[in-house]
Structure 1
């Protein structure tokens, strides 16, 4: 099983990258259900998805840093979470028409795997990784610019307070309310800088700074949500 020359050429035209090593894009499009034999996870897109998640986060962070020069870290974290969340990546996969060229087992295909948003989001990240490995950071940056820039610039719905979102997220998982703790305070009295950490049982502590305790707590909550891939977008 593999991509036909025509499918590969059409895909390359859609994403804006011609592969030197076509095995990378075929691996990025291979669902575990299509793999026979030993070590199926190593011969599916799963490792590429891991890499692509981090490459995508780096590139989008760079784009946001340049596009919003006066935004503080909390806002940048919220925008990042919005752009790299599962729903956004699935929308990009649909724009790339990746579902039609996904290499997938017959049973998974019959169950609707080609349109399943979790799978689409995963392969979008895997494709970013494949482009990165094939052409380097600049090539991956061009692809991300092509598909994520319109979403970055699109009008956005209002964001909810990140502390509220994090508390609701924790409650939905049976966790206690987040605990915010002051780690340090620096700077003069007229311009203090607070470093706050947010803690939830069983999860990694997240720290962020701000000009007040409240702003630092918001930034810490936003950073936590961004790490967990949770969007603060207000529901319609």
Structure 2
């Protein structure tokens, strides 16, 4: 199909999947449980971090995470005692374990107390056209405290050629703000223009079939190629097409 037909097709698929029904089966439902900005940020980042593998398992463990944090993640982050951290030790989702979780809680506390929150870091360090440099800087700040080296693998770095799928998904949740209300849109200091598509196996395969992506690996170089092509379709909100690519790949086996 030509570029006009491709845009019409993808716009139709965005309308099909960017609906409230999408929330019911997607990890974005977890930050939707909250109304406080900081609760949405912390629950969203933790949920995005464990968003790989079986979707039912992701949702089950993300809900369990919120239960461990007493469904008040920001209060827990700011006011926890060392004794309260002990109950987190047995959490596990694939390779993300209790030790990783405990460090994340301490890192969040450091970010809110010393860096004025997550939005401030990403807005301060973002490039004009991309948040990928900000992800790199965020990771450096996130690991300013003493930590086990293994925990670093749970926060991707685009400058090390990672597509950073889970963080880009988190950023989509925080930044995009449209009438559909699937994404939360609580960060007003960052423009949707700067967002990158959460590139994974499903969206990558569909993008290649549609001629939006030629690179075979799902890495930072592929992400840049995909971003450039999606921005040609909609310069103001290119990442809305994540709904189309994901829906076609997961729900339609396109």
TM interval, short-chain normalised:
under 0.3
Which structure is larger by alpha-carbon Rg, 1 or 2?
A: 1
Q: Which structure carries more strand by proportion?
A: 1
TM-score w.r.t. structure 1 length?
0.26
Q: TM-score, normalised by structure 2?
A: 0.25
